[in-house]
Amino acid sequence: MKQYIIQLASLLLIISFLSCDDYLGKAPKDTITMQKIKDYESLLNYSQANKTMGVYNCFFTDDVFFPDKDPGGQALNQATAIIQNFYTFQERLYPSGDNDWTDCYKSISVHNTILEKIMTAIDGTQKQKKSIYAESLLARAFEFSQLLTLYAKAYNPETAANDAGIPLIVESDITQTNLTRASIKEVYEKIISDVEEAIPSLPDTPSRNVNAFRGSKVAAWAFLARIYLQQKNYEKALDYAEKAIEAQPAILNLNNCKLTNPNVTSGRNDVPIRDLNPESVYIRFCSFVNTMSGRAYVEPDLINLFNKDTDRRFKLFMTDKYKNIQREYYIWAPGFDANIGIATPEVYLIAAECHARLNNIPKAMEYLEALRENRYENYTAIPTTGLTKNGAIKLILEERRRELMMIPGIRLADIKRLAYDPDFKQTVKRTINGKTTIVQPTSNLLLIPIPDIVMEFNPDMEQNIRKD
């Protein structure tokens, strides 16, 4: 019976691959018969291989806010059960299954298939094969990092060797059982080694004639900058961030964008998306519930970080009149699917933060200003006379809040990584029916449990116990 269930799950997984068809194209009908380079190219261009975590983890964070009552239909009790569970930190988050786990490991399975078979393709050059191999190494590493954000604690060098990470599945066989969770240290080491192995064979920059879902050296550098920032290795994070910026420095000037139809839920503005946006380094979308647009009010403390008169992000992406209903609070409504992969603004902010933490304040502000001058009307630079190291870091972290808000995974990872920084640690506060709950950044309430079905077939795997 157990083996039957495993086989059925495998069949359903394959069917889910073959039934998906969208922007990136279709999966090959039978991965067993893949023989040519074009077969593997089609897998790399296949939607499921390029989608990642969902949006629900945003409801763990201080980006979002629900009032107890709201005539506009955005009260907490009007949200879906899953959103309510995340927002209120319930012990059980998903009624059944777990899309985050399933979809990240689906993508990993696709890339494991490519990694196992590409070098046996009957045509193509060694260079072509190695490039495809490298792209899958990068993509798999990216999914490992996403899973860490959801299911593991932040990297702490003192405890990482013992803290539970995620299963490092590096084979295409999706019927594996007796899985264990590698330590956080082991997962980071695997991510870094795989990306470093991939870099020499990757194309230099995102291939615009294919799409920026595809891997590149600049994507790998930007991703390693993020990974080393999470490890607080500011020297290495800075090195990779500056390599990525040198290769792809573009920042979109939002002064050149405008609201086109503020009364609709999709297409409210003309901000370019996907490959049309020059900031796109490595594009990934949520595999389910594609966007946070219109799903929650913005936490009032976050709204207060914006200059409502001059910040173009505020004017383009937020409104207190949504679906023709005047609201008491501001809702985040850009009206498009956000890239939850990597874009140049994040890389500039990584470079700025690393310089500040290494006490190079002028250089930190140079990177920060390069972003801000493209985000504000009639912009004037921040005065830097007497600016301290902590003052600069505070400015940069506030800019991260404004620039990267509502991007799944980003804020949750930041809350966790700043937990051990006494000057910048932040809690998550919820006030519901007059009762306030404060969740600490080290709390297990910020970890998603391992799915029940996974624990059933892997009973020795360590579970995330959701208690404060």
**Residue pair 279/375 in contact by the 8 Å Cβ criterion:** no
- In terms of Cα–Cα distance, which of 209, 190, 186 is closest to 198? 190
DSSP-derived letter for residue 321 is E
- What is the pLDDT at residue 263? 81
Q: Would you state the structure tokens that stand for residue 411, as one six-digit string?
A: 């804020």
What the block records as the tokens of 467 is 């208690």
CA distances from 345 to 244, 252, 334, 348 (A): 11, 9, 17, 5
List 282's β-bridge partners, or say none: 342
Helix axis angle for 344-357 and 389-403, nearest 10°, is 160
Domain locations in the chain as residue ranges: 2-253+340-457
Q: How many CB atoms are closer than 10 A to CB 332?
A: 25
Residue 55: is it exposed, middle or buried by C-beta count within 10 angstroms (0-12/13-18/19+)?
A: buried
Q: What is the DSSP letter of 31?
A: G
Residue type, 352: A
d(CA 262, CA 333): 9
Report mean pLDDT in 10-residue bins for the chain, 468 residues: 36 37 38 81 80 92 96 91 96 89 91 96 96 97 98 98 97 82 99 99 74 90 99 99 97 97 86 90 78 90 98 96 91 85 98 99 98 98 95 99 96 98 96 95 97 92 91
The pLDDT value recorded for residue 210 is 55
Q: How many residues does the chain have?
A: 468
Considering only CA atoms, which of 419, 390, 437 is closest in space to residue 158? Answer: 419
Neighbours of 124 (CB within 10 A): 17
Quick one: DSSP state of residue 172?
S
State residue 239's pLDDT score.
Answer: 99
Question: How far apart (Å, rounded) are the C-alpha atoms in residues 188 and 408?
Answer: 20
**3-state class (DSSP) for residue 15:** helix
Query: Across 51-163, where does the E strand assignment appear?
Result: 51-52, 64-65
Contact 94, 82 (CB under 8 A): yes
CB of 139 within 8 A of CB of 51?
Answer: no
Cα torsion for 59, 65, 70, 73, to the nearest 10°? Answer: -40
Phi-psi category of residue 386: left, alpha or beta, with phi > 0 → left and psi -120 to 50 → alpha: left
Give residue 11's pLDDT: 29
Angle, helices 126-151/99-117, rounded to nearest 10 degrees: 160
Architecture of domain 2-253+340-457: Alpha Horseshoe (1.25)
3-state secondary structure of 143: helix
CA 31 to CA 228: how far, in whole Å? 35
Q: Which residues pair with 285 in a beta bridge?
A: 51
Cβ-count burial 241-255 (b if 16+ within 10 Å, e if not) = bbbbbebbeebbebe
CA distance 294 to 337: 11
